[in-house]
Amino acid sequence: MEVVWLNSLAHSHYQETCVICENLKPKGIHLYTSFICTECEDDLIKTETHDPKYKYFLKQLRKITTPEIFS
């Protein structure tokens, strides 16, 4: 698997919509076919399971689907 850094693209104002906060952001990670911004990733990692935000994160993450492989 090849890792591609998007620093040069971020400088050219390239942004993607975060699957969690649904805002356009320049930096983040890709999970299958979806994008999670750096801020949401940090917040997600730090959120305890008893926090009400945890259920919101689960709801948003359910939007992520695994890509189908066609043979």
45 in Cβ contact with 29 (< 8 Å): no
pLDDT digits (tens, 9 = 90+) for 34-67: 999 999 999 999 999 999 999 999 999 998 876 6
Domain boundaries, the chain: 7-61
Q: Would the pLDDT of 7 be above 70?
A: no
Residue 1 pLDDT > 60, yes or no? no
Would you say the pTM of this structure is higher than 0.85?
A: no
Cβ neighbours of residue 18 closer than 8 Å, sequence gap 6 or more: 24, 25, 28, 35, 36, 37, 40
Residue 9 pLDDT: 46
- Angstrom distance (rounded) from CA 68 to CA 18: 21
Phi, psi at 23, each rounded to 5° = -105, 155
